[in-house]
Each structure stands twice: as structure tokens, then as C-alpha cells.
Structure 1
């Protein structure tokens, strides 16, 4: 919320600076050029009033500890805008706006100017801090992004190596499976061969016994 108010304050400072410029032009120019500056100043006054209304709405949403500070600022901005409107009327009538500063309440005007300068200095300092914080955040984000990309690259390399190892293991398992299949075939063949030999030996022994017994009979 405070950052939004800071944005409004920056816009307001810019608008009032433009108003002051056009009031100076109104005092020195004549004819069509003077009327152009009057119209532009009127538009800027409307814009400044809208900004003050937005500030009032935002101040109401602040916590109590911040509300008083911003309320005081908005009041000073309103007083400043009223003074600029008075200077605008004098400029339209061709009255020297500086005459009142020389012969009028110089103390009050000086105090307003000093307050405005202090507020603007504080605003610039706060904006500078915000920019510095934003720059630091951007640098930290960039560093974090670079670290993440580096980690992802390392993880991708690790996954690639693991995949290559798995492919090698699959290849080795395939070769081992073929070797085992060949060994099983040879074992089966050897067993069949042994059974055949044993069967032949049994037949031969049986025949030998038969003929021996028969011969003695």
C-alpha cells in the first residue's frame, strides 16, 4: 500500500513541477501561447486533484501507525495545490506572483517551500532505496537462475551417464543371457548323450549276462 502511495507522490511532484512551469510561462507570454499554457495548466490541476483523491483513499486503508504520517503529507500537498491555484489566478490577471513573496507572509511561504523540499528529498531518497533494492533483487534472481541452470545441466549430464550405463548393462545382460542359453543347451545335450551311453551299456551287459547263462544251460 505504501509503495502505491509513493508512486502517487512521485506523479504528484512531477505534475506540480509542470504546473509551476506553465504558470511561469503564463506570466511571461501573451496571446495564443498564453492561452495554450493556461489550458495545459488547467488539465494538470485536474490531474493533481485526482491524484490527491487517490491518496486520500489509499491513506484510509493504511494501519494507524502510518496513517497519520501520510495524512499530514496529503494535507501539505493540498495546501501546496491551493497556493498554485492562487498563483495561477494571479498569472492570468498579469499580477506578479513574486510580489506577495516579497511583501506578504514570507515566513509562511518559506516554510512551505522548505517542507516541500524536504518531502521531495525524502521521496527521492526513498525512490533511490527502492531502485537499489530492485537492482539487488534482480542480481540475486539472475545469480539464482544461473545456479539453477548449472544444476540442471549437471543433472542432465548425470542422467545421460546413467542412461548410458543402463544401456551397457542391458547389452551385457543380453550377452549373458545368450551365453547361459548356450550353456543350458550343451548341458542338456551332454545329459542326453550320457543317458544314451548308459542305456547302451545296460543293453550290452544284459545281453552278455543272457548269453552267458544260456551257454551254461
Structure 2
């Protein structure tokens, strides 16, 4: 909920209550006193319209979820202000205390005032419900932020684990390379040993043959 909007809202509620009282008082006056009171009421209505416009601008500058809640409240305030304007028009159209009183009774002005009071009661109830809705929106937003923070933390942990796995993978590749090199060295050594065996066998065979020839010639 916007603190600026709530400030305008409190000002309007106080101004609306004062306007209702002034309309009731003006209905009982006559002559110059009535004209002066009506002038005060008109000035107060101008102030109320200014507050309505400020609330409208403030509500439309907020995020969509909050704006919808505030615009719903604003429609109720506009309806309340229109009722007050209607009361002022009826006061202006009256010529005397008795005619104003008769018009008030005949046209149902008292019912209008009562309806306005009832409407303000409904406005207060609606405001309470909207405030509760705003609190739920705030709770949902806070939960969403907490979930987002948890998701970021999980992603960071996953990134750290990924780096660890990549490091382990690189280490395994190094081990594989070393094993391959060792295998090639052992294969080369085996080949050399095999070749050396053949060489030694050939030398032994030559020596045996030479010894046999020497013994043969000596004995002969």
C-alpha cells in the first residue's frame, strides 16, 4: 500500500465527515449565514476534488496489483463526493429555512444523508477488506522474494558443485593420460625385452654352434 495514498485517504475521510456536518448545519440556516456556509462547503468540495485527483494520480503510478485495489477504493470515494455535491445543489436551490426543510423532508434529503453515512460505513468496511487484500499481496510478495532468494542460493550451490565436477573430470582426464603414457612405455619395454630375448637366443645359438664346431675339429 502507498503511504502517500493513505495520507490523501485520511485527509479525504476527515474532509468528507466535516462536509456532511456542514451540509446538515447549512440546512438549518437562512439568509447570509446560509450563503456563507454554502461558500465554505463549496471550497471544501474543491479541496475534496483535489484530493481525489491526487489519489487517482498516485494509484495509477503504482504496480498493477496494488493499483487495482486502490482504484476500487477510489471509485467509492468518488461516489461519496458526488452525493455531497448533490446535497450542496439542493441547499443552493432552497430560498429559506422552511422551504429548505420542506424540500429536505419531501425530496428525501434526510434519506440521502443517511445513505451517505451508510455508504461511508460500507466504504470503511471495503477499505478494511482492501487493506487485508493488500496485506495478503504483501505476504505473497514477501514469500515470492524469499523463494527467489532460495532459488538463487540453490543455483549458486549447483554452480559450485558443477565446478567441482569439472575439476574432478579434468583430474580424471589427467589420470587417463598418465595411464595411457604408462601403457605405451610398458608396451615399448615389452617389445624391447622380446627383441633382447631374440638377440640373446641368437647369440647363444651362435655360441653353441661355434663350440660344437670347435669340438668337432679338435676331436677330428
Superposition map of 1:26-105 within 5 A: 27=33, 37=40, 40=43, 43=46, 81-88=85-92, 100-101=100-101, 105=104
Superposition TM-score, scaled by structure 1 size: 0.56
Cα distance in 2 for partners of 1:45, 1:204 equals: 124
What is the root-mean-square deviation of aligned Cα atoms in Å? 4.6
Displacement of 1:151 in angstroms is 3.1
Is the CA contact 1:22–1:38 (under 8 Å) kept in the aligned structure 2?
A: yes
1:18·1:44 contact (CA, 8 Å) conserved in 2?
no
Partner of 1:122: 122
Residue 109 of structure 2 corresponds to 109
Change (3 A) 1:194 1:79: closer
1:20 Cα offset (Å)? 5.8
Shift of 1:139: 0.8
| Equivalent position of 2:155 in the other structure | 155
**Deviation at 1:164?**
1.6
Q: Is the deviation greater in 111-120 or in 143-152?
A: 143-152
Alignment of 1:6-45 (within 5 A): 27=33, 37=40, 40=43, 43=46
Contact persistence 1:19–1:45 (CA under 8 A): no
What CA deviation, in whole Å up to 9, does each residue of 1:116-146 have, x standing for no partner?
1112211221122112111111112202221
What is the alpha-carbon distance in structure 1 between the residues aligned to residue 115 and residue 199 of structure 2?
A: 122
Query: Relative to 1, partners in 2 of residues 1:109 and 1:119: Cα closer, same or farther, differing over 3 Å?
Result: same
What TM-score, normalized to structure 2?
0.55
